[in-house]
Amino acid sequence: MVEERRKSVRIKKMLSVRYAYPDENGVKKWDITSVRDISETGMSITTEHGFSANDTLTFLVKIPSKPLDWEEFTGRVVCSESARPGSSPLHITRVEFINLRDEQKQLVREYISWFLAK
């Protein structure tokens, strides 16, 4: 049996997210996808590019309680694995949030609480 390592409740709810990573020339490249699941400590997204553990990504996430704003987060890649080995260029990329401000932590916490209360 796989040991549960999560530090907080994780919800499976689609959110729009833009993510950026440096290309081979160090220029920040942006892409868009959806959040697969999110918690107070991190999230999982589907990416077209595989990443190495400890890569740092920048995210712009649209939280429903602030529909006109994109909230910026920084995350450290925990792992990035092929969604379907041998048949798909897509990757499931899991990230841990880093350097979150208190108001960002509260925003994510409130969103998760709101979703769980529905």
Asked whether the beta carbons of 15 and 27 are under 8 A apart, the reply is no
Nearest to 11 by CA among 52, 51, 40, 32: 40
Query: In the CATH scheme, what architecture does the domain 16-117 have?
Result: Beta Barrel (2.40)
Q: Give the model's confidence band at 107: pLDDT under 50 very low, under 70 low, under 90 confident, else very high.
A: confident
The mean per-residue pLDDT over the stretch 79-99 comes to: 87
DSSP 18-78: EEEEE-TTS-EEEEEEEEEEE-SSEEEEEESS---TT-EEEEEE--TTSTT--EEEEEEEE
Chain segment 39-72, per-residue pLDDT in tens? 888 999 999 889 999 999 999 988 877 778 888 9
Chain segment 83-92, per-residue pLDDT in tens? 877 777 899 9
